[in-house]
A = this chain, B = another copy of it.
Amino acid sequence: MTKPPPASAERAAPLARRLFAEFLGTGLLVAVVVGSGIAAQQLSNDVGLQLLENSTATVFGLAVLILMLGPVSGAHFNPVVSLADWFVGRRTGSGLSLSDVGAYSIAQCVGGVGGALLADAMFSVGVHVSTKHRASGGHLLGEVVATAGLIVLIFALARTHRGLLAAPAVGAYIGAAYWFTSSTSFANPAVTIGRMFSDTFAGIAPASVAGFIAMQLVGLIVAIVIVLILYPDAGAEADDVVVPHAHTQHSGHAEAAEATQRP
């Protein structure tokens, strides 16, 4: 990273504040997923209806959290997104540095665990580690598809200057992916780790976690290949667009989130 930082770097929020936003956002995201899962399980008998309640709440909650925290940290809430952000921006120095990716990931994972504990406390459910095994072959393929689709969507929006739409689009994507992937679309290592700490409808047994995260990383690789095929020449252009109005990190995803503050 010998290149000087881009001119607008001065306007990025300090790292501590960005890490707080990632911690808070990932925590609330997991609280939404787990909390609404507990409520659904307590109130409905039909398992499909429980999942519909769970996915509807998550669509709304995720869109709102991206609106709320995007201008501060880029609203990644997901180590795979932060990693993609570094990879795409690594040559122009416009993405997260690898050490920032590490810091972001830690904040996200701590937030994810905290969110599960918050949901357990709100619903007066004791904290137990999940016993819900999920790592079948079909579910693992589901995680590859779910993660790849998420990353392609984020970078397609960023590279075509439609970051304004990130909040509703990512929310809608998860609303579809809950249903069309057999794994109900975790697609996020921090959320996967957090959801270990809730022995409910929304939990995941520790023995399934490593397989899920491995498949999420495979999905990341698939996504980067697809993005490079679909939008081969958009990399530099996207970066140029980010610089003039950036408040935070100068990356594909940060652009998407930031653009939402320019109506």
Residues B162 and A260 in contact, CB atoms below 8 Å apart: yes
Residues of B within 8 A of A60 (CB): 59, 172-173, 175-176
Residues of B within 8 A of A183 (CB): 122
Per-residue contact bits, chain A 136-167, to B (CB 8 Å; 1 contact, 0 not)? 11100110010001001100110011111100
Residues A162 and B48 in contact, CB atoms below 8 Å apart: no
Residues A20 and B229 in contact, CB atoms below 8 Å apart: yes
Per-residue contact bits, chain A 240-263, to B (CB 8 Å; 1 contact, 0 not)? 000000000000000000011111
Interface residues of A, count at CB 8 A: 84
Partner of A49, one of B44, B72, B123, B160: B44
> How many angstroms from the CA of A47 to the CA of B54 in the assembled complex?
14
Nearest chain B CB to A81's CB is how many angstroms away? 16
Partner of A162, one of B34, B40, B122, B263: B263
A28 (CB) vs chain B CBs: closest residue: B149
A32 (CB) vs chain B CBs: closest residue: B180
Q: Is A221 an interface residue (CB 8 A)?
A: no
Q: Is A208 an interface residue (CB 8 A)?
A: no
> How many angstroms from the CA of A99 to the CA of B124 in the assembled complex?
39
Residues A180 and B121 in contact, CB atoms below 8 Å apart: no
> How many angstroms from the CA of A61 to the CA of B150 in the assembled complex?
11
Nearest chain B CB to A34's CB is how many angstroms away? 8
Residues of B within 8 A of A32 (CB): 176, 179-180
Residues B156 and A71 in contact, CB atoms below 8 Å apart: yes
Nearest first, the 10 closest Cβ-Cβ pairs linking A and B are A44-B48, A43-B48, A35-B180, A61-B176, A36-B179, A57-B179, A124-B138, A60-B175, A160-B261, A60-B176
